[in-house]
Structure 1
Amino acid sequence: MAGKAPNPLGTYLRDRRTRLDPVAFGFGAGRRRTPGLRREEVASRANISPTWYTWLEQGRGGAPSADVLDRIAKGLMLTEPEREHIYMLGLGRLPEARYLPVDGISPRLQRVLDGMVLSPAIIKTAMWDVVGWNRAAALLLTDYAKLPREGRNILRLMFGSNHVRARNEDWDGIARYVVGAFRADVARAGANNSTATAELVAELSRVSPEFEALWRGNDVVAHTEGVKRIHHPDAGLLAMEFSSFAVEGRPELGMIIYNPVSPADAERLRVLLDSRED
């Protein structure tokens, strides 16, 4: 006789509920045959039918809906990675992105930036707010610490600062690239219909006809890698190749690292960094 079909979702849910303390959730501490919450207690917390929850653990009744998985995740107090895991087990995909505003980065992530002494590096949000940078980025790109928080937005700097425009040799190409990558980022982060995105787009459209035209173009590009030529008042023209990386465990953040294209660019950058005292 054939054995039971694997039921990884049910196995995982059962494991999670057996780890929870019934008393902590207001349930009685009386005699229980197994540790943790009972199935009907999880169903009560998730506001779903006890029968339906039992079927999920038993691998019956078909695939759950996204709403049911979200209710169960809340009922079992799952972390975001655990919530993503039950989506993969139950639906074979990740949940739709939920945009969460970011104010800063962890000390550990800042140490990662600071460790790249000769490579300018920044960390940005899906809204293209710069929330982390290293010394090399402050010297070559922008001294973000001297800007108010709302002024650390790459789009605002690109389209609202004549100083930034003058320092980018191929401003038109970079601007087109930035707008296309921004459109992709906010959609990926689930922020394309957010109030924050609408307000930023409206603001930039008012101050910059170039941005408005590019935004209406609806172009989308992957923010991966490229070359940026920067006019620096002390170091001269530097060609810097950049690469973009996702921050593991922080899908709302992206890291951009710049490296000199040629040995001559590397030497000019080194001289710039050595000439400035902290």
Structure 2
Amino acid sequence: MRLLRIGPPGRERPATLAGDGRLLDLSALTEDIDGAFLAGGGIDRARAAVDAGGLPELDPALRVGPPVARPGKIVCIGLNYSDHAREAGAPPPTEPVLFLKAPNTIVGPNDEVLVPRGSAKTDWEVELAVVIGRTARYLTGPERALAHVAGYTIANDVSEREFQLERGGTWDKGKSCETFNPLGPWLVTADEVPDPQRLGMRLWVNGAAKQDGSTQNMIFGVAELVHYVSQFMVLEPGDVLNTGTPAGVAMGAPDPKPYLREGDVLELEIDGLGRQRQVVGQAR
């Protein structure tokens, strides 16, 4: 099932994309696609409502918002692809590298991405995002970790490298600028992604291919990450886990590095999860 949120920022309506391409309104079932919806059997109710028929249609020309309402937290994994660690000049980690992004970084998959004031090194990162569906706390192992996953979507983990690496030694300030986490277009439910470690992922800037990787090359897979993170913090329904990016970011390119500028166009896709497109603007 493909769940999404349709409408202007702050007034999105819950919806599902039917197999025939129609957008069906889920407002009669729930106010939003959020942690309460995911934890309370919302996916099963939505599936039953689609099967029963009669759901009103929505205009497909409406804006697509992020597929999950503002999460409690966005947990991110750094250097989780060996080729990306290599291009960053870092050894592959022996344990997952964790950092957090502010929840208000989330925007829709086709919304504008803003280069922050004072930025010279704004970068892109296509990532598989995991949306939590059940509380994960001190899980005993990876074996049952995927049972806590509601589904998957695409994230662009936009990053300002100078803020991240040269301004005080903390990653979060280079990761939490406004618009720095386009998400979507859909939340594809876990039952439709039987193996999250076999998904191709690609990113283009101004039509030029920059990233072309696969989740099979993660150092730590999705199940291991959900288990690991649950040892340090409680993952709650609606939380988002960004799982890392393959090689091909601007930071890893030869000089002069092609960091993002106003007017650039980003396009991202992951197999089965849809596609994003963002035009880069400048924060004023």
Verify same fold: TM over 0.5.
no
Q: TM-score range by the shorter chain?
A: under 0.3
- Relative to the length of structure 1, the TM-score reads 0.25
- Relative to the length of structure 2, the TM-score reads 0.25
Question: By percentage of residues, which structure has more strand?
Answer: 2
Name the larger-Rg structure: 1
